[in-house]
Copies of this chain bind each other. A is one copy, B any other.
Amino acid sequence: MRDALVVFTPSGKRGRVPVGTPVLTAARQLGVDLDSVCGGRGICSRCQITPGSGQFAKHGVHVADGALSDWNAVEQRYKDKRGLIDGRRLGCQAQIMGDVVIDVPPESQVHRQVVRKAATARTVIMDPATRLYLVEVSEPDMHEPSGDFERLAEALRTQWDIPEITAGLDVLRKLQPALRAGAWQVTVALHNDHRPGPHRVLDIWPGMYEGGLYGLAIDLGSTTIAAHLCDLRTGEVLASEGVMNPQIRFGEDLMSRVSYAMMNPGGDVEMTRAVREGLDSLTRAISDTAGITAREIVEAVIVCNPVMHHLLLGIDPVELGQAPFALATSEALNFGARDLSLWGMNPAARIYMLPCIAGHVGADAAAVALAESPETSDDLVLVIDVGTNAEILLGDRRRVLACSSPTGPAFEGAQISAGQRAAPGAIERVEIDPVTKEPRFRIIGCDLWSDEPGFAAASAASGITGICGSGIIEAVAEMRMAGLVDRSGLIGGPDQTGTWRCQPEGRTHAYLVHDASGTGGPRIAVTQGDIRAIQLAKSALYAGARLLMDEIGTDRVDRVVLAGAFGAHISPKHAMVLGMIPDARLDKVTSAGNAAGTGARIALCSRAARAGIEATVRRIHKIETAIEPRFQEHFVAASALPHATDPFPELAQVVTLPDVSFNTGGGTHDGTRRRRRRG
């Protein structure tokens, strides 16, 4: 039999095949990644390819006319019915008749790349746990009786090399009608995690299933629940939504929820119900937005902190509220959506939860690790996910450490006198003129600075309502740089600072940023208490990072990644002025956006990523800050505000530098006296 040379692009894989071989068959023989759901029956059109013609010097091939078999009736029917781009052929229909170069377009590749848009581009190869397969099942034979399910298993074995399947009763219920409606052809959605075990039939449809197959990547935070709806074939995000976590009513932060569970019998059950209802309504909302049905959602990946993790699973989080902070379970979990009473998805949908790293370092931190992969970094990277608890990862390809640090809610605008959540009207950027000591600011929802023409009109809709987390960080840093605050964190009076804006407030002072009280609006100032709250939070954050640096034995990190919605809005310069984060070159401080959500999306698209992060988490070295005496030392040492003129101050240097200093006249400054380090 004559044979022909076939070269596939972009893979470059090549080989000789007998003349008459279908392109799909050749692709499989040569290990080329060419998709097919129908297994070559000319139904699914997933195997579209584009044949080349003419001279391909690079591949040493001249493609003559007639290198593929003629356009056939199956292709014409498909084109008439559903359309086919000109020049495209169905790989299962077109046969190789002579030497040919064949291009596999990205949408015909099963394992196409999903490239993140972020600066630190990370390539994810599509390899989802759930995929569709069309199979032809043999009809029942009274002489060799066997169940329809057993014949389906046999068909998947012979037609798709799938060794073993299993299914729940829901699927068994649909099986017989589907097989008969599809004239013994059915499409099945098979789920196979990276762990050994049978493929699980999640759903079944008569004939070729033309609907969608989606997954949810869910970042379940203490305050908000955010989800991306992803196409499990392409990795594309169809819709993103967020809702408030209904558990908010049981306490703003995690520890107050743990307390609620401890103080109220059945309190954990109430909170479990609340968060599941929240997830369910989010699922319904995102389905409505995207215009898809519940049945099309066959998977979800959920990342969250340990307390949310336990409350979602229905486990009393009481042990997480006290040393030794024991998790009920730390490994990755794979279970049914029904186990969580999530009814907005396919009844057989599977839930994957990333592993927890430690009692205070949850699956959300694992997701950040998955998104940022410090374990593959050549340089030493510090990844900080800032929230009520900061999760901190430090490492490179040799070793990764993790801890969490109880920063408290100050970075989120809570416990700040004029603080508020990041929402339109909130001050998010602040600058203070070092000479005039006058502030200017920007609010969320308005692109103008407050001293720019048109600001009043532009901000009229939202008003100027308060100051959010990133705003307070900039305000404190700018105050420090403008000499309004000394290194101990004390705000000077008008005599010392030379500005009327530093006004007495009780026995301390406050810096007035904005005053609309004359017209019934808010009066926004940074008080001494605000500075103390930020000092506590940033000291905790810094101390956590330092602890990990001590463990690795370094004084500097090569780069810093700020993760989390909040992290995306922090000004690296101001963070470093404040001493929130250890020294690094300013251009080496980047934001990763919602890295936890990204990690969830990656786990949704890739089984290999799941296996990878499970292995990584096992290798991550955990440091428990709560029991580490050096954490307290670092915490106390870090309370000072480094000097403004030193661009990348090391804390050790700061305390020896000349600095402004105010005589406080003997007033007590609670929370500072014990912690202030005397130079």
Contact = CB atoms under 8 A, between A and B. Distances in A.
Interface of A: 139-150, 168-169, 172-173, 175-177, 197, 313-316, 318-319, 323-331, 335, 339, 356-359, 622, 624, 626-627
Contacts of A148: 319, 326-329
Nearest to A141: B324
23 contacts: A140-B324, A140-B359, A142-B323, A142-B624, A142-B627, A143-B624, A145-B324, A146-B327, A148-B327, A148-B328, A149-B328, A150-B331, A168-B335, A169-B313, A169-B314, A169-B339, A172-B328, A172-B329, A173-B315, A175-B328, A176-B315, A176-B328, A177-B316
B359 A325 contact: no
Report which residue of A140, A147, A324 has the largest number of chain B beta carbons within 10 angstroms of its beta carbon: A147
Contact of A330 (B150, B313, B323): B150
A145 B335 contact: no
Contacts of A315: 169, 172-173, 175-176
A204 B573 CA distance: 54
B327 A147 contact: yes
A266 to B, nearest CB: 13
B331 A149 contact: yes
A366 to B, nearest CB: 13
A34 B100 CA distance: 71
Contacts of A175: 315, 328-329
This chain: copies in complex: 2
Given A147-B331, A149-B331, A326 B359 contact: no
Contacts of A358: 142, 145
Contacts of A147: 326-331, 356
A627 to B, nearest CB: 6
Contact of A316 (B173, B331, B622, B626): B173
Given A169-B335, A175-B329, 16 more contacts: A140-B326, A142-B359, A143-B622, A145-B358, A146-B327, A147-B327, A148-B326, A148-B327, A149-B328, A149-B330, A149-B331, A168-B339, A169-B315, A173-B313, A173-B328, A176-B326
A128 to B, nearest CB: 23
B146 A330 contact: yes
Contacts of A356: 147
Nearest to A624: B142
B316 A145 contact: no
- Sort A-B residue pairs by CB-CB distance and give the 8 closest, nearest first: A147-B330, A140-B326, A145-B358, A149-B329, A147-B329, A142-B624, A147-B327, A140-B324
A154 to B, nearest CB: 12
Nearest to A197: B197
Contacts of A326: 140, 145, 147-148, 176
Contacts of A173: 313-316, 328
A356 B140 CA distance: 15
Contacts of A143: 622, 624
Contacts of A328: 147-149, 172-173, 175-176
Contacts of A335: 168-169
A315 to B, nearest CB: 5
